[in-house]
Chains A and B, each alone.
Chain A
Amino acid sequence: MTSLTVIFTGLLYVATIILIAGIAYRVYEYSRTPAPLVIPTTPAPTTNSGVVMRMAREVFLFESLFKSNKWIWLFGWLFHIGLALVLLRHIRYFQEPVWFWVEFLQPYGKYASFMMLVGLAGLWARRFLVDRVRYISTPSDHLMLALLIAIGMSGAMMTFVSHTDIVALKAFALGLVVFDLQPVPEDPLLLIHLGLVALLMIIFPVSKLLHAPGIFFSPTRNQKDDPRATRHIAPWATALERDKA
Chain B
Amino acid sequence: MAVAEFEIPTLTEYTVVPKINPGAMTKVKSFIAPQGPQEYLGYPWELGPDWKERAIDKMGDLLGKYRSLRVFMDACVHCGACTDKCHYFLGTADPNNMPVARQDLMRKVYRRYFTLPGKIVPWLVGAEDLTEDTLNEWYTYYHQCSECRRCSVYCPYGIDTAEVTMAGREILNHIGMGQKYSNEILVKVQKIGNNLGLPGPALEDTLLGLEEDIEADTGVAVKMPLDVEGAEIMLVTPSADFFSEPHVESLIGYAKVFHAAGVSWTLSSKASEAGNFGLFNGNYETMQKVAMRIRDAALELGCKRIIVGECGHAWRVAYSFWNTLTGIGYGGNDPFSKKLQDQLDHRYPQPMHICEYTWDLIQNDVLKFDKSLNDDRVITFHDSCNVARGSRMGTEPGGQFTIPRNIIKAVANNFQDMPAETIGEGTFCCGGGGGLLTDDLIEVRVKGALPRMNAYNSVVQGNQVNFLALICAICKAQFTKVFPYYGFDRGQVGGVHQLVSTAIKLD
Contact = CB atoms under 8 A, between A and B. Distances in A.
Interface of A: 26, 29-30, 33-39, 41-46, 58, 62, 64-65, 67-69, 72, 76, 123, 126, 130-133, 135-141, 143, 203, 206-208, 210-211, 214-215, 217-221, 225, 227-234, 236-237, 240-241, 244-245
A138 B124 CA distance: 7
A28 B117 CA distance: 20
B70 A33 contact: yes
Contacts of B176: none
B82 interface: yes
Given A41-B158, A231-B332, A136 B81 contact: no
B243 to A, nearest CB: 30
Interface stretch (B234-242, B389-397, B411-419): B389-397
B116 interface: yes
Contacts of B63: 33
A132 B400 contact: no
B356 to A, nearest CB: 11
Interface in B129-172: 149, 152-160, 163
A41 B321 CA distance: 14
A236 B324 CA distance: 12
Given A35-B66, A68-B81, A240-B288, A136 B331 contact: no
B3 to A, nearest CB: 32
Given A29-B70, A33-B65, A231-B324, A214 B397 contact: no
Interface string B360-396: 0000000000000000000000000000111110000
Interface in B43-94: 63-68, 70-72, 74-85
A72 B81 contact: yes
A143 B123 CA distance: 13
Interface in B283-326: 284-285, 288, 292, 319-321, 323-324
Contact of A236 (B65, B388, B401): B65
Contact of B125 (A45, A140, A221): A140
Given A58-B156, A227-B320, A132 B98 contact: yes
Nearest to B162: A39
B16 to A, nearest CB: 13
Contact of A228 (B67, B157, B330, B397): B330
A23 to B, nearest CB: 12
A123 B78 CA distance: 11
Nearest to B125: A140
B126 interface: yes
Contacts of A65: 79, 81, 154, 156
Nearest to B425: A43
| B76, B319, B324, B425: residue with the most chain A Cβ atoms closer than 10 Å | B324
B67 A34 contact: yes
Nearest to B321: A37
A233 B319 CA distance: 15
A130 B327 CA distance: 48
A46 to B, nearest CB: 6
B443 interface: no
Nearest to A67: B154
A132 B93 CA distance: 10
Between B75, B82, B351, B390, the greatest number of chain A beta carbons within 10 A of the residue's beta carbon is seen for: B75
Interface string B313-356: 00000011101100101111110110000000000011100000
Contacts of A135: 20, 22, 95, 98, 101
Contacts of B80: 69, 72, 126, 130, 132-133, 136
A64 B388 contact: no
Nearest to B70: A33
Contact of A218 (B71, B104, B284): B71
B34 interface: no
Contact of B123 (A26, A133, A139, A231): A139
Contacts of A140: 117, 124-126
B109 to A, nearest CB: 14
7 contacts: A38-B321, A133-B80, A217-B71, A218-B159, A220-B160, A227-B319, A228-B319
Interface centre among B17, B285, B390, by most A CB within 10 Å?
Answer: B390
Q: 10 closest pairs, A vs B, by CB? A: A214-B75, A68-B154, A231-B332, A220-B158, A43-B397, A138-B126, A133-B80, A132-B83, A221-B158, A68-B81
Nearest to B391: A42
B27 interface: no
B180 to A, nearest CB: 26
